[in-house]
Amino acid sequence: MGTGTALEIVGLRKRYGHRTAVDGVDIVVPEGEIFGILGPNGSGKTTTVECAYGLRRCDSGRVRLFGTLDPQAQPDRVAGLVGVQLQDSALPDRLRVGEAVHLFASLARHRVDEAAVMAEWGLTGRRDASFGSLSGGQRQRLFVALALVARPRLVFLDEMTTGLDPADRREVWDLVGRVRAEGTTVVLVTHFMDEAERLCDRVAVMVGGRVVAEDTPGGLVDRYGGGTRVRFASNDLDGDRTDGDGIDLDGIGRLPGVVEAGRVDGTVAVRGTGAFLTALGHHLHVTGHADTELSVERVGLEEAYVALLASGNHPEEAS
């Protein structure tokens, strides 16, 4: 695995007519990392990837691959080193799966064992199938396979699992993990927070053409509403804070590590971090609720992401 920088984007800007798609993006991805780009539709993720690969000319800013390679000036070198699966890819309907793999393998810097690639991606039985005859999920799988056929040192995957069924998604995740283990750096655009949590070392969240947050998935969860949530049944139906079931929400709210405590539809929900679980358990015990059944869940990236977008509080935007 390399120790350099696979991708460096500095001050990237791109407009389509009057519409600003990318508005000053900085992203640095070290070799060997799986880096995620998250963000709502239209936030500039695909444009960023297209500029990084050299498919689009940016208006200003700088992209470098592996330290020195300029994708706009040296597209043929990029093709040998970098794989890409674009969000809106297409192949001629009559091209066969085997022919497509052969075509992409011929771009590699070294000989590719095409049969092994077909087997690895579960495409062997479809060698002679035409692209036009494949289902949406099969096409998606083929595009991811094609992006990785030449064992690139860097690969861009733009919504690689959109349209895949859950079993196929898991298989693609495993394959991406293996490709990374072999030293390929991965830049992954995704709408799926479970995918980002599972695969990405770090993620950037884009909103309105800017990166508004960048962190590890765990770091984002901690910063934007993270921690653990405990729920338990409450028989207090009139919704007072202290009456009815005798659960003292204000007291719970003052326990160490508790971030918020409230009643929702007959349950009490308490969110906190660190050692709050122990304090909450003790509190329930001494207030006569020792046999309350608690359900405990970790607050995940999805909730943190939604909270980050809803907050409008985007600290990294200011810089």
Ligand X SMILES: Nc1ncnc2c1ncn2[C@@H]1O[C@H](COP(=O)(O)OP(=O)(O)O)[C@@H](O)[C@H]1O
Residues forming the site for Mg ion (CB under 5 A): 45-46, 87
Q: Counting contacts by CB under 6 A, is residue 44 touching ligand X?
A: yes
| Shortest-Cβ-distance residue relative to Mg ion | 46
Least distance between ligand X and beta carbon 138 (Å): 23
Q: Which burial class, exposed, middle or buried, applies to 130 when counting CB atoms under 10 A from its CB (0-12, 13-18, 19+)?
A: middle
Of the residues 29, 35, 36, 45, which one makes contact with ligand X according to CB under 6 A:
45
The piece of 40-48, 125-133, 169-177, 179-187 that touches ligand X (CB under 6 A) is 40-48
Euclidean distance between CA atoms 231 and 180, whole angstroms: 38
Least distance between ligand X and beta carbon 137 (Å): 21
Given a contact cutoff of 8 angstroms between Cβ atoms, the answer to whether 118 and 130 are in contact is no
**Token pair 């977008």 in the structure block, residue:** 309
Least distance between Mg ion and beta carbon 49 (Å): 8
Query: Binders of ligand X: how many residues, by CB under 6 A?
Result: 11
> Which of ligand X, Mg ion, none sits in contact with 39, Cβ below 5 to 8 A by type?
ligand X
Q: Counting contacts by CB under 6 A, is residue 59 touching ligand X?
A: no
Q: Return phi, psi of residue 188, to 5°.
A: -125, 115
Q: Could you tell me the CA-to-CA distances from 8 to 69, 188, 271 in Å, in that order?
A: 10, 15, 38
Q: Counting contacts by CB under 6 A, is residue 235 touching ligand X?
A: no
Cα dihedral 198/202/208/209 (nearest 10): -120
What is the 3 state secondary structure string of 90-119?
CCCCCCEHHHHHHHHHCCCCCCCCHHHHHH
Of the residues 3, 18, 41, 110, which one makes contact with ligand X according to CB under 6 A:
41
Helix (H) or strand (E) holding 136, with range, is helix 136-148
Of the residues 8, 31, 36, 47, which one makes contact with ligand X according to CB under 6 A:
47
Q: Counting contacts by CB under 6 A, is residue 190 touching ligand X?
A: no
**Packing angle between helix 166-181 and helix 136-148, nearest 10 degrees?**
0
Q: Counting contacts by CB under 6 A, is residue 3 touching ligand X?
A: no
> Which of Mg ion, ligand X, none sits in contact with 47, Cβ below 5 to 8 A by type?
ligand X
Of the residues 8, 27, 46, 299, which one makes contact with ligand X according to CB under 6 A:
46
The number of residues making up the chain comes to 319
Amino acid letter, residue 176: V
Given a contact cutoff of 8 angstroms between Cβ atoms, the answer to whether 12 and 51 are in contact is yes
Q: Counting contacts by CB under 6 A, is residue 227 touching ligand X?
A: no
Least distance between ligand X and beta carbon 3 (Å): 30
Comparing CB distances to ligand X, the nearer of 16 and 125 is 16
Q: Where on the chain is the footprint of ligand X (CB under 6 A)?
A: 16, 19, 21, 39, 41-47
